[in-house]
Amino acid sequence: MDAFFNAVWDIATSNSTYLNGALFAAFLAYAAVGEWVAEKAGTLNISVEGMLLSGAFASAVGYHLTDSVIVAMFFGVLGGLVVAVVQAEMSHRLSADQFVVGLTLNILILGLAGFLDNEVEPETKLATRFEIPVLSDIPLIGQALFGQRWPFYLLFLLVPATWWIVFRTRWGLELRSVGENPQSADVSGIDVNKRRRQSIYYAGFTSGLGGWFLIFGQIGLFEDSVVGGRGFIAIAAVIFGGWTLRGTLAGCLVFAGALSFRLSIQGLGYDVNSELLQSLPFIVTLAGMALFAHRVRAPAALARPFVRGLK
């Protein structure tokens, strides 16, 4: 028992635990914030995994062509938006099943990214680290929150901007209305499927940024396995958080903690079954879904296709 508590203490007081946790949480948050917007509009955007991977690959190609991290960011956003447009148009213009479209896109992007990576072999690097004076010297959390590479800090702008758009603009009000009562929204003159498509575009935008952040703010190279199923964890974070923005971010922190724990316990030299450690983040995700999914209220029209005149 003493050995167990010593291990927990070592992990809890390790700077790497907080540093890795912040990086994982930021990556999940980039995707989850956009997914939260999409689900508030009544869409369930399964293709977020493909958006992240497309954004990561496109940003790597952008840097390979221009040697600019800024240009790579725009390429990443474009990569996420391409997947978003296909998802939105097929699900909310052609009325194809959004689950089937999302899963198909995920598989397609994974195959395309692997093939094109072998053809192009893009060269990338990590972005410049930027430490905020004084704050970066805070024990444990200082480097994790205020000593990161500069793509990390864009999240500090994205989160409040997203909240303001959803709760302080007419577009955000209409978006929430189509997620709760699309028939009433339609009677009020709101184009329901247009708003839903736009919400998926926003998810593509933030997920594209997330793919760019993964390459230039976290790992520094592209492989077709870089996302590794974390797009689905981002979806779970939205459900875990009860479809609130603060809850979604809390979910990202919880699941990032599991991912960071896996790396920290290996880095500190503890002998733990590697297969168990690999599955730990997904076990925590499933446990969180089981505990909280039935205790929160989803948008009333979530995942329900809208057809004018039908209830």
Q: At 305, is the pLDDT very low, low, confident or very high (cuts 50, 70, 90)?
A: confident
Task: Provide the angle, in degrees to the nearest 10, between the axes of the packed helices 155-168 and 15-40.
Answer: 30
Per-residue burial over 47-73, b if 16 or more Cβ lie within 10 Å, else e, is: bbbbbbbbbbbbbbbbbbeeeebeebb
Whether domain 8-127+139-292 has CATH 1.10.3470: yes
Q: At 269, is the pLDDT very low, low, confident or very high (cuts 50, 70, 90)?
A: low
* Residue 277 scores a pLDDT above 80: no
pLDDT tens string 176-232 = 999 999 999 999 999 999 999 999 999 999 999 999 999 999 999 999 999 988 999
pTM summary value:
0.93
Q: At 80, is the pLDDT very low, low, confident or very high (cuts 50, 70, 90)?
A: very high
* Residue 1 scores a pLDDT above 60: no
Q: What is the mean pLDDT of the chain?
A: 88
Q: At 258, is the pLDDT very low, low, confident or very high (cuts 50, 70, 90)?
A: confident
> Which H, E and C letters describe the chain, residue by residue?
CHHHHHHHHHHHCCHHHHHHHHHHHHHHHHHHHHHHHHHHCCCCCCCHHHHHHHHHHHHHHHHHHHCCHHHHHHHHHHHHHHHHHHHHHHHHCCCCCHHHHHHHHHHHHHHHHHHHHHHHCCCCCCCCECCCCCHHHCCCHHHHHHCCEHHHHHHHHHHHHHHHHHHHCHHHHHHHHHHHCHHHHHHCCCCHHHHHHHHHHHHHHHHHHHHHHHHHHHHCCCCCCCCCCHHHHHHHHHHHCCCCHHHHHHHHHHHHHHHHHHHHHHHCCCCCCHHHHHHHHHHHHHHHHHHHCCCCCCCCCCCCCCCCCCC
For the chain, domain boundaries: 8-127+139-292
Q: 90-104, 105-119, 174-188, 292-306: which has the minimum mean pLDDT?
A: 292-306
User: Between these two residues, 262 and 77, which has the higher pLDDT value?
Assistant: 77
How far from 96 is each of 15, 93, 278, 301, 309, CA to CA, in Å?
47, 8, 35, 17, 18
Q: 48-52, 139-143, 167-171, 227-231: which has the minimum mean pLDDT?
A: 139-143
* Residue 157 scores a pLDDT above 60: yes
pLDDT (mean) for 266-290 = 68
pLDDT of the residue at 283: 79
